[in-house]
Structure 1
Amino acid sequence: MPPTLAVVILTKNEARHITDCIASAAWADRVVVSDSFSDDGTPDLAQAAGAEVIQRPFEGWARQRNHALEVTAADWIFFLDADERITPELAAELREVAPRSEVGWWAPRFNYIVGKRMGHAGWYPDYQLRLLKRGSARYDLSRPVHEVVLLDGAEGHLRHHLLHYNYDSWAQFHRKQTTYAAYEAKILKERGVRPRPHNYLLQPLREFRRRYITLAGWRDGWHGLKLSTLMAWYTYRSYVDLAQLWRREERGD
């Protein structure tokens, strides 16, 4: 028998995306939606679209994904976000590589940000480790966001692309990056890092240079300049948040 492959989608109030997302995964042996008690109708829409729905409280992305790896009956798991889509070409390639010896596969991802498909500035090819062999992969619990997968075996890279419709507006981008900056500050604090005065200037400048120059963000025109600048700003915000976390601890809050 060929290996079985399940697509797992983690959700929390994803009514806008979930139906189209599940439709792009309809080729899989199973589509499982792991929902964190959405109140916008996401579970009902997911079931109507043909997915299995399980619900559990949100305990961090890594824990949610590890739980899915434990309970989903399939040889392979492909993790798909609600705002992502699997193309037919990628679906065929996933079936093709499943019998091979690698235990994890990276998919290149196209990111669409406020209507533009990005080609540089760190947003492309944006490889994501998403196809995982059950029993040979787990998520590092020390990373609450931008999770890290630990593999017991070799990994490979896919040719075909995953589509990611990241942000419809700059306001949505701001909300998400503000959250990421807070997460990053928490990680730095857990590592014992304290902000130094030069961090507030040098770290954002390094981030801008990395995205705009090293990663050729300038090739994406206005979008590349704006995104490189914004990501430098959120790097600054993470150090501001880090300083606040240390102050709260020192006050005993």
Structure 2
Amino acid sequence: MPRSTLSVAIITLNEEDNLARTLASVKFADEVVVVDSGSTDHTVEIARSFGAKVFVETWKGFAGQKNSAIERCSGTWVLSLDADEELTGELEAEIVKMLETGAEIVPQVDGYRLRLRHVFLGRWMRHGGYYPDLKLRLFRRVTSSGDTRFTDRPVHESVQIAGRVETLKNDFLHHGYPNLEIYLEHMNRYSSLGGQIAAMKGKVSRSGIAFGWNIVLVPVLTFIWNFGFRLGFLDGREGLLLHLYHSTYISWKYAKAWKAAVMAGKA
């Protein structure tokens, strides 16, 4: 029985601090496709040193860039990773086994969710709703319903698969926030994108009560729920900071949605 082929799709921009770790964890793949959007550091050189197929393209948004990477893949299966993510050895072995046997034994499965382990300030966030963070990242490049693609959204893009989806047992790691500066910069950027989505969905009101609810009470209740009831406090000081700043992100998101609506004359 022939082994199914695997392509790894990664998008990059100035990821020299992360990319080598990611590429080292997927050496077993049949090909690695990297779509870069104009890095000014050594990202492209690092990708090529690992034998990746590198393409430099203008930025088209997260979904557009990831779809471009998928289009350049040739494997039966595609594993979509961010440049700051890493497979564990256990997950690698599980994927290899699937490629050798499961893909043919259970051909109706079109995708697999992977268990994401967030590492914040060097600590694995085990509680507070952060683990396991299931992500649909391993999928057939072409299914019976057509080519697999990411949905076009400003942020939190996701893969849509009409067929059967299963969940693998082992983890991959997200090393996105080694320090607070990077985390706060990301939350500022993502809250702007999230605010755009909220404004487009009409989640903005002229009511002062609704404004206070979104800007103040929702963030506070989110913190209490995740840090307290979902045991986020068990992750120590790092857990406290993560949940505190995540709640702040929610406040920023709705504040930016309200401001965008005001500028557009809708609030």
What stretches of structure 2 of length at least 5 have no aligned partner?
Answer: none
CA displacement, residues 160-203 of structure 1 (integer Å, 9 cap, x when unaligned): 11021121111111001111111110001111221432222221
Q: Determine which of 142, 159, 170 is the counterpart of 1:149.
A: 159
Match of 1:19 in 2: 20
Shift of 1:28: 0.3
Supply the AA of the counterpart residue of 1:107: L
- TM-superposed CA distance for 1:140, in Å, is 1.4
Cα separation, 2, equivalents of 1:239 and 1:231: 13
Write the letter of the residue equivalent to 2:257: L
Partner of residue 59, structure 1: 60
Unaligned residue ranges in structure 1 (runs of 5+): none
* Number of matched pairs: 250
Q: 2:204 aligns with which of 183, 187, 194?
A: 194
Alignment of structure 1 residues 140-219 onto 2, 5 Å: 140-141=151-152, 143-195=153-205, 196-197=210-211, 198-219=213-234
The one-letter amino acid of 1:125's match is: P
SS at match of 2:51: coil
The alignment status of 1:126 with 2:133, answered yes or no, reads: yes
Q: In the alignment, which residue of structure 1 is the partner of 2:113? A: 106
Aligned mates of 1:48, 1:220 — CA distance in 2 = 37
Structure 1: distance between partners of 2:112 and 2:87: 14
How big is the shift at 1:41? Answer: 2.2
Q: TM-score if structure 1 supplies the norm length? A: 0.93
Aligned to 2:47: 46
CA–CA distance in 2 between the matches of 1:63 and 1:215? 35
Alignment of 1:230 with 2:245, yes or no, is yes
Aligned-pair identity in percent equals: 32
RMSD: 1.6
Counterpart secondary structure, 1:159: strand
- Aligned partners of 1:102 and 1:30: how far apart in 2? 22
Deviation for aligned residue 1:74: 0.9
Q: How does 1:48-87 map to 2 (within 5 A)?
A: 48-87=49-88
Distance in 1 (alpha carbons) for counterparts of 2:158 and 2:46: 30
User: Match of 1:138?
Assistant: 149
Q: Distance in 1 between matches of 2:111 and 2:171?
A: 16
Deviating beyond 4 angstroms after TM superposition, the runs of 4 or more aligned structure 1 residues are: none
- Provide the TM-score with structure 2 as the length reference: 0.88
- Measure the CA separation in 2 of the matches of 1:17 and 1:173: 15
